[in-house]
Structure 1
Amino acid sequence: MQSTTGGGPFRQDDLIVRPAASWTPGVHALLAALHRDGFDAAPHPAGYDEVWERVTYLPGDTGDLDGHAAMRGEKALRSAASLLRRYHDCSALFAKSLAASHAWQLPARSPCEVICHGDFAPYNVVLNDGEVSGIIDFEAAHPGPRMWDLAYAVYRWAPLSSGVAIKGMDTLAAQVGRTRIFIDAYGLSVNERSSLPDVIVERLEALLAFMEREAARGIERYRRNLQEGHDRIYREDIAYIRKCSTEIVAGLTG
């Protein structure tokens, strides 16, 4: 998610520069803590002031599922899930201390198990040789449960959506198959799998509420999202996941 102060990120030599926001100190504290604890797949924080923030550039390919064949590959899918698990395990070491000392763009969720990335989607990772090697854009980071972050990641990577027009991902069976690959690589326990569709629905409902609240505050990005019908897509996907919940759970636990 971009800052509400306007404009998007841009590259300046080996740095990524974007407008600073109220949550910038928390994001930079998170990035610094990750590197202190040995997690090397995130940008280094490179300072911020009242106007701009800077982080290091991560080399690699970026893109979404529909425009990047390698991002659709099973190697990318498995490595993305494994990297998310590694990120969660690392952020769990300091999640509670960061949660208590910083503001975040998205509301904190209970229990505070990790610092959720908040938008772990194909467009927010970098790819090298078909493997997901880094995570970018931590602007939506916030404290919460692992499942909260994992649910949104599955929604984006499967993707669990009724409007998918990508060959090989446009059926429920294919989406459930990709979901199973992702959660297997993440290491989600069998006991937790049956709750995944409900958590995805709850996560999307929370996203809708956030978008509508920010649009009502006059934040242009979210006003534009609503004008473009993003809320309609999320509502359709919520209905789709609810309708197919039994089949999804069967495919993940059977």
Structure 2
Amino acid sequence: MDEVQVVVAHSERATLRVGDVFLKVDADQARIDAEVEAMALAPVPTPEVLWRKPPVLAIAAVPGTTLGRLGGPSTGLPAAWAAAGAAIRKLHEAPLPPGVGRAGRGVGELAAELDAECALLVTNGLLPADLVTRNRQVAEAALRPWAPVFTHGDLQIAHVFVEDDQVTGIIDWSEAGRGDALYDLATFTLGHEEHLDDVLAGYGGDIDLEVIRGWWAVRSLLAVRWLTEHGFDPFLPGCEVDVLRSRM
């Protein structure tokens, strides 16, 4: 029998790997439904769905490797990062999917959530007030109207697989929906700012870098407390807190 590897596990969901099969266990059936639908609609390589038996979704592993991880070293030549940018552009140019994902919340709703989270970060002593205040200012650039596109919604670097400078698979589509294109670009380059130019070279177009930086601040501010409460460490080198510190 193949060894069972715990890929990620917390109170909301867990992902296990057994050989070349990933088993995603999620009590939220709507989230699994959204993931399967998004993978079927996305015009980029996605994992093959092997079977579903709620609350479990079984998908096949995709070939290739990631370009790194948050808090770790990045790999790959500029061409590989550009290929990822081109794949993200292809997704964003696809017909809009049903539903609104993480990247599609209204500006007012997101601003209110961010303000509440910033207050908790300071009140609970997780982050110093000056760090939170500065990044809340940076985050304001992201809080503007945007034209919705087909977004992945959680396009972490660990979710994009590349081989021979070609994207071979994009995984974890549970947050997909209509949202802001620059949120996906910011999520993919979070903690790896040195590769932003390569990604944008593949993506093409005129991109507002202040908005990208704004989304880095938004995502990091909203993640710190959740990560801490679910057994992860956003204070590790290169992770969310270091991203926030880089804006000081």
> So what's the TM-score if we normalise by structure 1?
0.64
| 1:180 and 2:197 correspond | yes
TM-aligned CA deviation for residue 42 of structure 1: 1.1
Pairwise CA distance, 1:85: 0.9
CA deviations over 1:63-109 (Å, ceiling 9, x no partner):
616567xx33112111111111112222xx133x233xxxx5x4633
Q: Which residue of 1 aligns with 2:40?
A: 32
2:159 matched to 1:152?
A: no
Match of 1:224? 231
* Structure with the larger helix share: 1
The Cα shift of 1:224 comes to 1.2
Match of 2:173 among 138, 148, 164: 138
Q: Which runs of 5 or more structure 1 residues have no equivalent in the other structure?
A: 161-174, 216-220, 244-254
User: In structure 2, do the counterparts of structure 1 residues 211 and 234 end up closer, same or farther at CA, with 3 Å as the change threshold?
Assistant: closer
Conservation of the 8 A alpha-carbon contact between 1:201 and 1:238: no
Contact kept, 8 Å, 1:118 with 1:142, in 2: the verdict is: yes
**Cα distance change on mapping 1:112 and 1:82 into 2, 3 Å:** same
Q: 1:115 to 1:55 in 2, by over 3 A?
A: farther
Alignment partner, residue 84 of structure 1: 88
Distance 2:238 2:200 in 1: 27
Match of 1:45 in 2: 49
Quote how far apart the aligned CAs of 1:56 are: 3.0
Provide closer, same or farther for how the CA distance between residues 222 and 119 of structure 1 changes in structure 2, counting only shifts above 3 A.
Answer: farther
What is the SS of the residue equivalent to 1:84?
A: helix
Output the aligned Cα RMSD: 3.2
Q: How many residue pairs were aligned? A: 198
**SS of residue paired to 1:225:** coil
CA contact (8 A) 1:204 1:238 kept: yes
SS state at 1:98 partner = coil
The Cα of 1:180 is off from its aligned counterpart by 2.0
> Aligned AA for 1:202?
W
Q: Label 1:239 to 1:81 Cα distance change in 2 as closer, same or farther (>3 A).
A: same
Rounded Cα–Cα distance in structure 1 between residues aligned with 2:18 and 2:174:
16
Alpha-carbon distance between aligned partners in 2 of 1:31 and 1:125, rounded to the nearest angstrom:
13
SS in 2 for 1:72: coil
- Gaps of at least 5 residues in structure 2 are 1-7, 107-145
Query: 1:103-122 to 2 correspondence within 5 Å?
Result: 106=102, 108-110=104-106, 111=146, 113-122=148-157
Indicate the percent of aligned positions where both proteins have the same amino acid.
17
Cα distance 1:231–1:209, how it changes in 2: closer, same or farther (>3 A)? farther
Asked whether the 8 Å contact 1:88–1:114 carries over to 2, the reply is: yes
The structure showing larger relative contact order (alpha-carbon pairs under 8 Å, at least 6 residues apart) is 2
1:31 to partner: Cα distance:
1.0
Q: Which moved more, 1:19-28 or 1:53-62?
A: 53-62
> In 2, Cα distance between the equivalents of 1:67 and 1:197?
24
Aligned to 1:208: 221
Answering whether residue 33 of structure 2 is matched by residue 20 of structure 1, we say no
Q: Cα offset for 1:3?
A: 6.3
For residues 122 and 142 of structure 1, the distance between their equivalents in structure 2, rounded to whole angstroms, comes to 19
Alignment correspondent of 2:99: 98
Deviations 1:10-48 (A, max 9, x none): 1455x42111242111111111222xxxx2511233443
From the two aligned structures, give the one with the greater strand fraction: 2
TM-score of the superposed pair, with normalisation by structure 2? 0.65
2:159–2:170 Cα contact (<8 Å) kept: yes
